Structure 1
């Protein structure tokens, strides 16, 4: 995946640092990724009314009848 530079203000950097410390992450990049995934999960939950997996989930081996 290509890397993209996102310019951050001092205030935004401080918010990400707070999230990084609270969630026990190693870098601000990980905090930004964590926030993006959380927003995606919450958005999917608002649309569907329930939590959804963000990864491939194995299903039944035989089709439904």
Structure 2
């Protein structure tokens, strides 16, 4: 799965550090990933009316 790298300003970093502490994550990058997945889950629920799994699918093309 492709990886994206982002630059965080001070306000973003503070938010990510709070998320990191709250959920026991190891890094701000994991906190950012957690926030993105949470947002995608909420969007999927609004769109389809139910939750969807969010994990990489290995279809043998790697």
Q: Same fold per TM (> 0.5)?
A: yes
* Structure 2 unaligned blocks of 5 or more: 58-62
TM-score relative to the length of structure 2:
0.76
TM-score relative to the length of structure 1:
0.73
Report 1 or 2 for greater relative contact order, CA contacts < 8 Å, sequence distance ≥ 6.
2
Question: Aligned pairs, how many?
Answer: 55
Q: Which has the larger radius of gyration?
A: 1
Alpha-carbon RMSD across the aligned residues, in angstroms, is 1.6
Q: Which runs of structure 1 show a deviation greater than 3 angstroms over 4 or more consecutive aligned residues?
A: none
Distance 2:13 2:44 in 1: 27
